Amino acid sequence: MRRTSEPWNPNGLELCVHRFRDDAARPTGLTLLLLHGFLDAGSTWDLVAEPLARAGHDVVAPDLRGFGRSARVGAGSYYYFPDYIADVAALVDALAPARLGVVGHSMGGAVAVYYAGARPDRVERLALLEGMGPPSHGPEIAVARMEAWLRDMKGLDRTPRRLASMQDAIARLVANHPRVPRDVLATRAPLLTREEPDGGLAWAYDPMHRTTSPLWFQVEAFTSFLERIACPTLVVSGGPTGWHPPDEAARVAKLARAEHVELQDAGHMMHWSAASELAERLGEFFAGGGAAGAAGAAGEGTKGGVDDGRGRE
């Protein structure tokens, strides 16, 4: 198993891209792009990525901008949602020259929907892990969101959020993710933190991500992207303790070729809490690709800026 972390510069901002390959496996020719959720990082896909790599896939898991080891935007900039999609499009062009499958968790699922809807000819198979977008709101919240954003940005302190120790980081993860075994969270903590120049420890994400986006999620626009997705789509639920928007079923119904899997007791962080079962389900799903799947996507490709879709984890 080869696991590397490489810098890529798709749109003027250096991203850290984690790649998983097994030289002993027979290559499938399929690149799998794994997109993480809010305050997560591409490196924490490892428990799922390694089994998929052993199946012969080339697995790519970027830290999205401002998360993990990827660069943060400069002063005067912001994390607008289309920026993530532009980064994904550039990474796909560079790293997935032929066949592409996409897996998106939570916020990463929303990124995957926008990308797959905009480029239905490019995605052979798509898996959405509780990634159907946040709750919908109408334009009546627009003024309040803009006011909140201006307040947040005026008082923003981008100093990394400090931790007393790695044990402190683990304890906080345990408090936030009670359904994930502690021993698993102990392996996640080093991936979600970074050592500061003075030797201290801090969370690896940019504190700007904690601010209120000035733009709200517009479900009508989101569903237009769902309707454009032509490929087979696996919708994975973490069960009743997972995260589900109230109109989730209506959104899923917009997908032309949806399949459903429920990991009953996994909860929202299923790639940590039920990694083996999730990897098995994803492996079965992506093994069903190939020429027929690609032809279906190509044949249906013409079918016919937001609040983050972050699904706060």
Instruction: Tell me which residue of 78, 67, 29, 72 sits closest to 45, measured CA to CA.
Output: 67
Quick one: tokens of 81? Answer: 């949602």
- Facing residues of 127 across strands? 103, 234
- Among all chains, which residue has been given the structure tokens 């947040």? 152
DSSP state of 164: S
SS3 101: strand
* CATH fit for domain 2-140+213-299, picks 3.40.50.1820, 3.40.50.170, 3.40.640.10, 3.40.50.620: 3.40.50.1820
Q: Are 271 and 129 in contact (CB under 8 A)?
A: yes
Q: Are 73 and 2 in contact (CB under 8 A)?
A: no
Per-residue pLDDT of 215-257, as tens digits, reads 989 999 999 999 999 999 999 999 999 999 999 999 999 999 9
CA of residue 24 relative to chain centroid, distance: 28
Q: Are 83 and 39 in contact (CB under 8 A)?
A: no
CA distance 189 to 185: 6
The phi, psi pair for 11, rounded to 5°, reads: -140, 40
Q: 45 — alpha (psi -120 to 50), left (phi > 0) or beta?
A: alpha
Query: β-strand 258-262 against 125-129: which pairing, if any?
Result: unpaired
Query: What rounded mean pLDDT belongs to the chain?
Result: 91
Per-residue pLDDT of 277-294, as tens digits, reads 999 999 999 998 654 344
For residue 139, the one-letter residue type is P
pLDDT tens digit at each of 313 positions of the chain? 899 999 999 889 999 999 999 999 999 999 999 999 999 999 999 999 999 999 999 999 999 999 999 999 999 999 999 999 999 999 999 998 889 999 999 999 999 999 999 999 999 999 999 999 999 888 999 999 999 999 999 999 999 999 999 999 999 999 999 999 999 999 999 999 999 999 999 999 999 999 999 998 999 999 999 999 999 999 999 999 999 999 999 999 999 999 999 999 999 999 999 999 999 999 999 998 654 344 343 333 322 233 443 333 3
Residue extents of the structural domains in the chain: 2-140+213-299
DSSP state of 64: P
